[in-house]
Amino acid sequence: MLKILQEIVGALLFFVLLFGIGFILNMLIKTTWVPLWLFVIIVLPLAIWHFWDPSRTAGSFIAIFLPPALSSIAGAYVSGWTIRKLRRGGYKMF
């Protein structure tokens, strides 16, 4: 039970973290999808390489790594979507 709660809280924290970072990057560099692509192309492979444990099987590593990775990708996507909606809504700041 505790492990499931930790996974849920961790996934939520990764979502909020990537949403915030993506939102700030979108405001500063005036692009919509760069934070998502940076995460998928650079951060995700580096995280897999860094946290890879040779004593685990690939399936168990994916089971542990997948929830935070998917919630991070979702946070980056939602930040791009939010910025796009704000720009279309007429907010010039974004």
pLDDT tens figures, 16-50? 999 999 999 888 888 888 888 988 999 889 988 99
Kindly state whether residue 93 falls inside one of the protein's structural domains.
no
- For the whole model, what pTM was predicted? 0.84
Residue 75 belongs to a domain: yes
DSSP annotation of 93: T
Instruction: Tell me if 12 is assigned to some domain.
Output: yes
Q: Is pLDDT at 68 greater than 80 in this prediction?
A: yes
Burial call 5-33: b when 16+ CB within 10 Å, e when fewer:
eeeeeebeebbeebbebbbebbeeeeebb
Average pLDDT of the residues of the chain: 90
Name the domain count of the chain.
1
Local confidence band at 53 (pLDDT 50, 70, 90 cut-offs): confident
d(C-alpha 22, C-alpha 73), whole Å: 10
pLDDT at 94: 65
Judge whether 94 lies within some domain.
Answer: no
Domain span holding position 8: 2-88
